[in-house]
Structure 1
């Protein structure tokens, strides 16, 4: 991938919000930013590693994973949209990773060193670095709000209530939901197994509450659906 293509993707990310073309070019030209390629199956970083960069996906797909003491692998999340960022919280807090990231396909990433937003005393910050610092604050605020929302969903009493409260914000005016993530992601988000999630969605379908096909869900009985809110 060329620097030009990387610049186009970077310009659309929340990290580069408010940057002009010159700012994006300055950021990419910095010694604190590197374009990396990883083959399929490569581990981007391991559980327990100390962070040294935040990562922006340019191309491909990675999975965030965790292994249990018994050796079982837990799927946490997938990252497959160009411009998606990961690892930034650990990098800023300087906390060891408590999960690991593996390339599901060949991937290209931008690795942004912490030096860009943790400058040495007396060092004059570049404009692009100041914008990155500001945008990181907004990103963390957004993640805090998302975690607050997730905790409210996980506090629901039953799996059906969790599913309904997860789906409700995504319903359009026609009563349809176009999911942007996989069922594996939703199951991990709700802290349930994929089979349990599928069984409950199937039960809701048999009861005439929803119609589910792949990542498309249509609410057939909104009144009954909303009883679980």
Structure 2
């Protein structure tokens, strides 16, 4: 999942927001089927268990401890990835709110039980793709091109997630909260010093491993100090030279 949407970035595929679109059209916009033509997507769907599900707000997609058997692609709505502590406190880990975003694939590939749970934040429609989607190549002596493309695309997806985590480690290795914020924004701002957040403050606080009130206070302090201007999800760096002193 992308944590920011850079100014001038590509828009989401329109087919993903169309509830009446066929499954093949939805998959055509997914990173999982990059490089496939219509015939190969149809071939893949014929060999897979693909279902649509609609979840009401507050409904659980899967529970902590469940054994994975699918991956999920968001068609519309929003889900939150959560974890409960032993004392019962709910920890917000991430959110998925961009049509076409995928989640659950790492657990499915590794065949490890979920150590988180996913809850619909609003009415949400998901495309569930069963395990056979990942095991096509092991079922045939001569894997089809579509099966090989799925394997290649999964490797690219995992590589992007690893790169994302590498960036987060660099942010978390910073000393103060202000340094963490500066490094995060510096990684994601455009050439004009502008960052448009594609996530909530709650998600950003979880990403930075701080509380939401602490994040809000520090952003307000940075704005008061003339470092940046905050307008909703749009942040503008006002003094780049001073800003870079915190890197």
TM-score range, shorter chain: over 0.9
Most deviating of 215-224 and 114-123? 114-123
> Match of 1:174?
192
Out of 43, 61, 69, the position equivalent to 1:44 is: 61
Q: By how many angstroms is 1:122 displaced?
A: 4.5
- The change in CA–CA distance for 1:179 and 1:156 in structure 2 (over 3 A counts) is same
Secondary structure of the 1:51 match is coil
CA RMSD of aligned residues (A): 1.6
Secondary structure of 1:58's counterpart equals: strand
Q: Corresponding residue for 2:166?
A: 148
1:186 pairs with 2:204: yes
Structure 1 distance, partners of 2:190, 2:155, is 30
Superposed, 1:1-229 pairs within 5 Å as: 1-4=19-22, 6-119=23-136, 120-122=138-140, 125-229=143-247
TM-score, with length taken from structure 2: 0.87
**1:40–1:105: 8 Å Cα contact kept in structure 2?**
yes
Matches of 2:44 and 2:78, distance apart in 1:
24
CA deviation profile, 1:113-139 (whole Å, cap 9, x unmatched):
122222445565443222111100111
Distance 1:15 1:216 in 2: 30
Q: Distance in 2 between matches of 1:25 and 1:59?
A: 22
Runs (5+) with no aligned partner, structure 2: 1-18
- Structure 1 runs not aligned, ≥5 long: none
DSSP-derived class of the 1:225 partner:
helix
Cα deviations by residue, 1:53-107 (Å, 9 ceiling, x for unpaired)? 0111111111101111111111111111110000111110011111100011121
Any idea what SS the aligned residue of 2:217 has? Answer: helix
